[in-house]
Amino acid sequence: MRAAFSVCEEEFESSSARERQFKALEKELADALKLRLQALRDGPRRPALLGLQRDIEDALCGESFVQVATPIILAKKQLEKMSIGDGHHLSSQVFWLEGDKCLRPMLAPNLYSVSMDLLRIWEKPIRIFEIGSCFRKESQGNRHLNEFTMCNLVEWGLPEETRTERLRQLAHVVMAAAGIDEYEIEETNSEVYGPSLDIVQGDTELASGNIGPHFLDANWGIRSTWAGLGFGLERLLMTREKTNNIHSVGKSLSYLDGARLKIN
């Protein structure tokens, strides 16, 4: 397809010859998009984003993780427990709603809350995960969406000395489900969690992970070891599909499964 763009560098005998070439190119590109949409209709019938979500769900359930589903609307107090109060600069990235509520910018506060209860009810180890939309006001770019799909998992009750190794194993489970085998794990510093481990490919952050006990745990009255990771599904897809347009793989009115819909 990229070869088609070489026409842009060509010289033409006349403006009508140029016009004809461009029309032909336009049709070629539109036909390719239509074929792609037809392949979706004939084949998986599910956009890659939802296919990836399902693959990760299956992989994590296969590792004895229990899936949870929590509300998208979050109380401000829950975010304050994550140390994101009015003064915190991440607070300006939050979509605030009336009545001290917001659209969740992360899944962690809800997972903390569910974990707090399950830790009373179930024996450890306890493994849970959620996959769902998160919302952040971001300066628009190729790697950020205002609404993106996060997968957040946490395992409670690990032997202390195994936490980092377990984090690596769990990263591998999700990366394998996503079909990405080239990635690195590097130490970094998160504004919310402090020292963290990022899963990256090149300079693209795919996930951030942490181990605990962590100072935030006390806000939910939790005392336990843990390992947890948060992945961005659209970043995983961009990486796997080698596209640099995150908007084409995310939830969209303009794209369906990576193909632009605004074609004739």
For ligand ATP, how many residues bind (rule: CB under 6 A)?
16
Q: Tell me, residue by residue from 189 to 228, as one string, x for binding to ligand ATP by CB under 6 A and - for no binding.
A: ----------------xxxx--------------------
Q: Footprint of ligand ATP on residues 81-110 (CB under 6 A)? A: 106
Q: How far is the CB of 24 from ligand ATP (least distance, A)?
A: 37
Q: Which of 115, 208, 210, 248 binds Mg ion (CB under 5 A)?
A: 208
Q: How far is the CB of 252 from ligand ATP (least distance, A)?
A: 13
Q: How far is the CB of 150 from ligand ATP (least distance, A)?
A: 5
- Contact range with Mg ion by CB under 5 A, out of 54-62, 92-100, 157-165, 205-213: 205-213
Give the residue among 195, 124, 111, 191 at the shortest CA–CA distance from 151. 111
Q: How far is the CB of 25 from ligand ATP (least distance, A)?
A: 32
Q: Which of 138, 165, 184, 186 binds ligand ATP (CB under 6 A)?
A: 138
Q: How far is the CB of 228 from ligand ATP (least distance, A)?
A: 11
Gyration radius of the chain over CA positions: 22
Q: 112, 118 in Cβ contact below 8 A? A: no
Binding-site partner at residue 47 among ligand ATP, Mg ion, none, CB < 5 to 8 Å by type: none
Residue nearest to ligand ATP (CB): 232
Q: How far is the CB of 31 from Mg ion (least distance, A)?
A: 40
Q: Using CB under 6 A as the criterion, which residues of the chain lie in contact with ligand ATP when the complex forms?
A: 106, 136, 138, 144-145, 148, 150, 205-208, 230-232, 234-235
Q: Using CB under 5 A as the criterion, which residues of the chain lie in contact with Mg ion when the complex forms?
A: 208
